[in-house]
Structure 1
Amino acid sequence: MKVTMQRNKSICFILPGYSYKALGGYKITYEYANRLAECGYRMTVFYPQFSKNCHYSLYGTSAGFYRILKFLVARILRIRWFPLKNVKEILRLSYSKKVLSRFDVLIATSIDTAFNLHSLGLDESKSCIYLIQGFENWKPFLESHVFESYKFPMKKIAITPWILEKVQSCGENATLIYNGLDFSYFSLSKKIEERNPLEICVMYYERSTKRFEDSAAALEIVHKKYPNLHVNVFGVFKNPGTFPEYFTYFKSPDRKLHNQIYNNSAVYVAASESEGFGLTVAESMICGCAVACTNNGGFASMVTDGETGLLSPVYDVNVLAQNIIKLIENKDLRIKLAKAGNENIKKFNWETALEKFVNVIEEK
C-alpha cells in the first residue's frame, strides 16, 4: 500500500547514542528512516552520546568517546551494519536544543531520549512523537519513570498490544503499529519437512533480560536426552568461550549465513523475560522454524501457544525444555506450528506499518 500524502517535513529520529553493533530497536528506527526518506521526507538521525539522566563513570565516559571514534571511522570507511539511504546523521556529545529546533518532527525512540527531548522545552510548533519499543524499567529508570514518560505531551506509538495496555493503564493513549519485517532479507529456502529436528538455533545476547542462560539450561536438559543435539548460536558479541561442544557460534553473520542458520534449524529457542517485540523470533518464523519461547508480551504478539508456536512461563527452564523436546519428538506438530507461524508472520509487513506511521506524523 503506497503512501500518497504530501510530504514536505523534516524529521529527526533520536537514538540513545551511536551503536556499532546490530540492535533490534536501532534496526527498526533505520528501516523507518529509509522508508520515510523514500516517501519524500527529509530524514535525519541524531546521536547524543551522553544523557542528562545518567552519571558516567570513567569507564562509561571512555566507552562514549570510543563509540564516537567508531562512528567517525565507520563514516570515513563507509562501513556500517545497516545501510542508510538519503538519511543524514548528526553526532553530538549531548542533546542540543539549537540543533533539534531545526526539525518539524522529532521522534524519541527510547525512554532516555523521551526524557531528554521533553526536558528541552521546545516550542509547541514542533511535533514530538514517542516510539515506545518496550517497557524500559531498567537502570537508571524505575517503573514510575516509565509511566511518567507516557504522560509527556507527545504523540505515542506502541509496537505491540501489551505496550499499548501499559500506556492506557496510566490514562494515556497510543497508536498501535506493529513492526514491519523485511521479507526480502529473510526467506524460507529449505522445506520445513526436510529439517533435522535436532538442529536448533538461538541468539546469544549479553543483556540479562534476554535470559540466554535459561535457553542454555533448557538446551542442556534436551541434550541429556538427545546427545546428537546441535545448537546454532548467533549474536553480535564476542564468543564468551563458555559454550558446550554441541554449540556452534556465529558472530555477526551476514545475510546469507544468517538465513542459512535459520533455514538449517528446525526449532528456534528464546527465553527473554521481557521483549518489546522480538525480532529474532519473527525472523526465524519467516525462515520456517518452529518456535519454543517464553510467554512475554512481545513474543506473545506473534506466537499463540499451540497454534503458531509453543509458549512457556518466563524463567521456567523445565517447561521450555519440555516444549523443545515436544517439537523434536512430534514431527507433525513441529511442521504444523512452523507452517502456521510462517503464514501468520506475513501480516507484519512494512507497507501497513509505514502507512500508519505517516498518518501519525501528518495528523494535527
Structure 2
Amino acid sequence: MRVTFILPNFTQVPIGGYKVVYRYANQLVNLGHQVVVVQSPLTECGANWFTRTRAYSSYLRRGAWGGHSYRPRWLTLDPRVSVLWRPSLAPAAIPDSDVVIATAWQTSEWVATYPPTKGEKFYLIQHLETWSGGNPDRVIATWTLPLRKIVIAKWLQDYAHAMGESAIYIPNGADPDEFDVDVPVVDRNGAHVGMTYHGAAWKGSKDGLKALDIVRSAFPNLRVTLFGTESRPLSLPDSVEYVVNPTRQVLRQIYNQVATFIGPSWSEGWGLPPMEAAMCGAALAVTDIGNMPAIYIRRCYRRRKILRRWPKT
C-alpha cells in the first residue's frame, strides 16, 4: 500500500507530533508499505502573496543544501521512507497514493482539496491546535472536513463526538528499546527532579519552576534537571541544570537519573516526555489535564502522584 504523510514544514529540533509521524513511517515500511513524507515551508492553504514569497525563498534555500537537508537528524528515519521537499502542499506537488494523511490543522485544509488519485483521506489529530497561532474558529472547523479522523487521546475523541464527528482512537505506542530502566529507582537520588522546559506559556514551565521553588524551601538539597530545544533561559538560577537538545541517549540518561519527573502543561494531546520518563522508572507529578493522568495511570508504573493544582504565578 502507498501511504503519504503531509507534514507542516521541517523541524531541526525534536517535536513530539513529528516524532509520532516519523515513527509511524518507520513501522509502515517495516510492514512492507511504501511511505512518502511530504514537507513544505508553505503550510497555510490560501496564504497571502507575502507569505507565499517568503515560503518559496525558504524552499529554495533548503533545497540548495542538498537532498538530505530536510530529513530529521534528531531521529533515525528509515532510508526506505521517501521525504519530499515541495514549494507548497498543493495537489500537483503530492504523489498519487492509496492513503494520504494530514498531520496538522494546516495540512488538513490542503488534504481536503486533493483529488481521489492522492488516496483515501485521513486526518491524524494529536491536539486541539488552537494554541498554534491560527484563528481558533478556523482550527476547529478542520474537525468537520470530509476526512477520516484518527485521534491519539480519548479526550480528543470525546471532543470530536461532541461536535457530531466520528473519530478512531489509536493511542501512541511506546518503544521499550528506546526508553527503559537502566538505573534502579532505589539507587537514585530521591531529591532529583526533571522537567521539560518550553517557552510557550501553555506548556506550564513557569508554573513548574514556581512549584519547585516551593519544594526547595522545604528540601534545600533539591536537584533539578531541565532540558529543552531552546537556549538556556537567562532567568534560570545557577542551581538548575539545563541540557539543550539532548540526544536520545542523553535523554534516556536523564530519565534514569531523576527520581521524579513533572509535567506542568496546561494542555497536552498526549505528552511524550512524562511517558518516556515513566518508562525509565521515574515517578510522575503531572497536571490533571487532557490525556496525561489517564494514560500514565493505566499504561506506566504505579509509583506516581497527580497534582491537581499548581501554585499561582
The normalised TM-score by structure 2 is 0.89
* Structure 2 residue 268 is the aligned partner of structure 1 residue 275: yes
Matched AA of 1:239: R
Residue 105 of structure 2 is matched in structure 1 by 111
For the residues of structure 2 that align with 1:63 and 1:22, how far apart are their CA atoms? 24
What secondary structure, in the 3-state scheme, does the structure 1 residue paired with 2:141 have? Answer: helix
Q: Deviations over 1:166-197 (max 9, x none)?
A: 01111111111110111101110111122212
Aligned CA distance change for structure 1 residues 298 and 223 (closer, same or farther; 3 Å) = same
Match runs of 1:1-364 below 5 Å? 9-50=1-42, 51-52=44-45, 61=54, 65=58, 69=62, 72=65, 75=68, 80-85=73-78, 86-100=80-94, 102-118=96-112, 120-123=113-116, 126-304=119-297, 309-313=304-308, 316-317=310-311
CA distance 1:212–1:128, shift in 2 (3 Å): same
After superposition, the C-alpha distances for 1:244-299 in whole angstroms (9 at most, x for unaligned) are 12211111122332111111111001110110000001000000110011111121
79 and 47 in structure 1: CA distance in 2 versus 1, 3 angstrom threshold: closer
The CA deviation at 1:77 is 10
Residues 126 and 302 of structure 1: CA distance in aligned 2, closer, same or farther (over 3 Å): same
State the Cα distance separating 1:206 from its structure 2 match.
2.0
Could you list the runs of 5+ residues in structure 2 that have no partner in the other structure?
Answer: none
Per mean C-alpha deviation after superposition, the further-off stretch among 61-70 and 30-39 is: 61-70
Contact 2:41 2:55 in 1 (8 A): no
Q: 1:66 to 1:227 in 2, by over 3 A?
A: farther
Distance in 1, Cα, partners of 2:64 & 2:222: 40
Question: 8 Å contact 1:45–1:89 — kept in the other structure?
Answer: yes
Residues 20, 77 of structure 1: alpha-carbon distance in 2 compared, 3 angstrom cutoff: closer
Work out the number of aligned pairs and report it: 308
1:183-214 alpha-carbon deviations (Å, 9 max, x no partner): 10111011112221210000111222211111
Aligned-partner Cα distance in 2 for 1:70–1:312: 47
Distance in 2 (CA, whole Å) between partners of 1:170 and 1:71 is 44
Q: Distance in 1 between matches of 2:3 and 2:251?
A: 32
- Distance in 1 (CA, whole Å) between partners of 2:95 and 2:186 is 55
Does 246-255 or 14-23 show the bigger shift? Answer: 246-255
- The question of whether the paired residues in 1 share the 8 Å contact of 2:10 and 2:70 is answered with no
Tell me, in whole angstroms, the C-alpha distance in 2 between the residues paired with 1:77 and 1:125: 22
1:21 deviates by 0.8
User: Contact (CA 8 Å) 1:147, 1:170: kept in 2 or not?
Assistant: no
Distance in 2 of aligned mates of 1:262 and 1:183: 13
SS of the equivalent of 2:150 reads: strand
Which residue identity is paired with 2:305? L
Question: Kindly tell me: are residues 167 and 225 of structure 1, through their superposed partners in 2, closer, same or farther at Cα, counting changes over 3 Å?
Answer: same
Aligned-residue Cα RMSD (Å) equals 2.9
* Greater Cα offset, 143-152 or 212-221: 143-152
Distance 1:53 1:268 in 2: 42
| 3-state SS in 2 of match to 1:219 | helix
Greater per-residue helix proportion:
1
Question: Which one-letter code corresponds to 2:273 in the other structure?
Answer: T
Instruction: State the distance in 2 between where 1:259 and 1:90 align.
Output: 31
Partner SS state of residue 37, structure 1? helix
How far does the alpha carbon of each residue in 1:203-229 deviate from its partner, in whole angstroms, 9 at most, with x for none? 111222211111111111111221211
Change (3 A) 1:262 1:125: closer
2:101–2:121: 8 Å Cα contact kept in structure 1?
A: yes
**Percent of pairs with identical residues:** 28
- SS, match of residue 12 in structure 2: coil
Q: Is the 8 A contact 1:201 1:268 kept in 2?
A: yes
Q: CA separation in 2, counterparts of 1:103 and 1:112? A: 20
CA offset at residue 240 of structure 1?
2.1
Which residue does the alignment assign to 1:340?
none
Cα deviation code 1:59-109 (max 9, x no counterpart)? x93897289539946816987111211101111121121232512211011
* Residues 215/54 of structure 1: CA separation in 2 closer, same or farther (3 Å cut): farther
Provide the rounded CA distance (Å) in 2 between the counterparts of 1:112 and 1:237: 24
TM-score under structure 1 length normalisation:
0.77
Distance 2:57 2:241 in 1: 32
Q: Which amino acid is the alignment partner of residue 209 of structure 2?
A: A
